[in-house]
């Protein structure tokens, strides 16, 4: 009994000492993980105004990722359209790590050629973009500072989607991880003032290009994407009972997969897209 009393007394003493001790948290350094990059407005090589603003979408994508901090256009030391015109020292002076430059020009059939180059500022600064390397015993020009370069023909309606594609490329080249800026989202809009109160919608991840998949007078719930991104599974209260449907977002064809008595909700796809888990 005395031994137990002594142990309790020691524990109480330790608690008392801890309670009286001051807890000091010292913050010695702040960390901002957003990397400064420059998304230079692409140069329009046609007549009149450019058909679409492409680079603002790319800059917004990268900013939303939390990994990058695109430099405002008014803060850019220059606005080149090709890698050869980049002054690496100027970009290094403002702390920019990578620069995206490009051009847009007309193409027959009411289409456009979009070309871009993604440049590593540090490598470019070290070599002034003029490095050489040995290949087969011969000195050849090296483009080690050029992280990516490509041209693509698109239509006027594809500008925004291609901007997301460029964002994916930039993100992957600078982080080593795949970008997800072409991801689609699915959600239900509810407006009790309309006849069809519930609408199943899909859109780009940033809310643009919104498309209605289904409208209903009864609740729609729990939309779930198939792994290949072509179908949606969702719960519906059509005919005054809860059911689960799978609908193709391109053909609009749908089929009922569950209508058991009671609960039919929360559908979720298997990784291979061949099965559905649900609450019954």
Q: Which of 175, 194, 209 is the last residue of a domain?
A: 175
Q: Residues near 227 by Cβ (< 8 Å), separated by ≥ 6?
A: 269, 271, 272, 273
Residue 32: per-residue pLDDT: 54
Same domain assignment for residues 45 and 138: yes
- Determine the structural domain holding residue 57 and report its residue range: 35-175
If residue 130 lies in a helix (H) or strand (E), which one and from where to where? none
pLDDT at res. 53: 83
225/270 same-domain check = yes
How far is 79 from 100, CA to CA, in rounded Å?
A: 10
Q: Are residues 104 and 201 in the same domain?
A: no
Region 221-230 average pLDDT: 94
Is residue 157 domain-shared with residue 190, that is, in the same domain? no
Give 239's DSSP letter: G
Q: From 175, 194, 213, give the residue that closes a domain.
A: 175
Q: What is the pLDDT of residue 240?
A: 84
Cα separation, 133 vs 277, in Å, equals 56
Asked if 162 and 195 sit in the same domain, the reply is no
pLDDT in the model for residue 2: 42
Provide mean pLDDT across the span 16-42: 62
155/109 Cα distance (integer angstroms): 9
Tokens 């692409």, residue located = 42
9 within some domain: no
Residues sharing a CB contact under 8 Å with residue 132, sequence separation 6 or more, in sequence order: 139, 140, 141, 142
49 and 117 part of one domain: yes
Q: Rounded to whole angstroms, how far apart are CA atoms 231 and 269?
A: 10
214 and 124: one domain? no
Q: What is the pLDDT of residue 135?
A: 52
Considering only 21-30, 70-79, 112-121, which range has the smallest mean pLDDT? 21-30
Q: What are the helix (H) ranges across the chain?
A: 2-20, 55-65, 88-93, 121-127, 159-175
Give me the residue label for tokens 């679409």. 52
Count of domains observed in the chain: 2
Do 130 and 103 have their domain in common? Answer: yes
Report yes or no on 25 lying in a domain.
no
Q: What is the CATH number of the domain that holds 78?
A: 3.40.50.10070
Residue at 275 is within a domain: yes
For the segment 121-144, the average pLDDT, to the nearest whole number, is 63
Same domain, yes or no: 168 and 47: yes
Together in a domain, 148 and 272: no
What pLDDT, in 10s, does the model give residues 87-104?
A: 999 999 999 999 999 999
Residue-wise pLDDT tens digits, 170-225? 999 999 999 999 999 999 999 999 999 999 999 999 999 999 999 999 999 999 99
Distance CA 221, CA 188 (A): 7
Tokens of 115: 């070309």
Asked whether residue 17 is assigned to any structural domain, the reply reads no
In this structure, the answer to whether residues 41 and 79 fall within a common structural domain is yes
168, part of any domain: yes
Greater model confidence, 27 or 260: 260
Q: Return the higher-pLDDT residue of 28 and 231.
A: 231
**Those residues with Cβ within 8 angstroms of residue 121's Cβ, 6 or more apart along the chain or in another chain:** 88, 91, 92, 96, 97, 98, 99
Residue 162 and residue 54 in one domain: yes
Q: Which two structure tokens, joined as six digits, stand for 174? A: 């600078």
Last residue of a domain, one of 175, 195, 226: 175
- pTM given for the model: 0.78
pLDDT of residue 232: 95
Q: How far apart are CA 129 and CA 106, in angstroms?
A: 29
């Amino acid at each position: 009994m005395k031994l137990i009393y002594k142990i309790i007394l020691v524990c109480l003493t330790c608690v008392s000492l801890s309670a009286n001790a001051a807890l000091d948290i010292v913050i010695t350094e702040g960390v901002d993980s957003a990397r400064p990059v420059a998304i230079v407005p692409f140069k329009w090589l046609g007549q009149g105004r450019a058909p679409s603003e492409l680079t603002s979408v790319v800059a917004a994508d990268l900013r939303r990722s939390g990994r990058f901090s695109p430099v405002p256009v008014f803060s850019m030391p220059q606005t080149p359209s090709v890698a050869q015109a980049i002054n690496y020292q100027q970009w290094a002076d403002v702390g920019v790590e990578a620069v995206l430059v490009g051009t847009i020009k007309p193409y027959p059939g009411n289409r456009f050629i979009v070309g871009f180059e993604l440049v590593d500022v540090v490598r470019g600064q070290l070599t002034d973009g003029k490095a050489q390397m040995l290949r087969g015993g011969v000195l050849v020009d090296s483009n080690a500072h050029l992280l990516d370069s490509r041209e693509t023909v698109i239509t006027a309606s594809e500008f925004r989607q291609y901007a997301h594609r460029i964002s994916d490329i930039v993100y992957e080249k600078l982080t080593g991880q795949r970008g997800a800026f072409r991801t689609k989202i699915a959600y239900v809009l509810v407006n009790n003032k309309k006849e069809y109160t519930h609408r199943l919608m899909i859109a780009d991840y940033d809310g643009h290009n919104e498309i209605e998949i289904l409208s209903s007078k009864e609740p729609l719930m729990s939309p779930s994407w198939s792994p290949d991104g072509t179908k949606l599974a969702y719960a519906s209260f059509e005919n005054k009972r809860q059911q689960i449907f799978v609908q193709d977002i391109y053909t609009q064809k749908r089929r009922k997969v569950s209508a058991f008595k009671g609960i039919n909700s929360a559908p979720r796809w298997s990784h291979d897209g061949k099965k559905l888990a649900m609450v019954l």
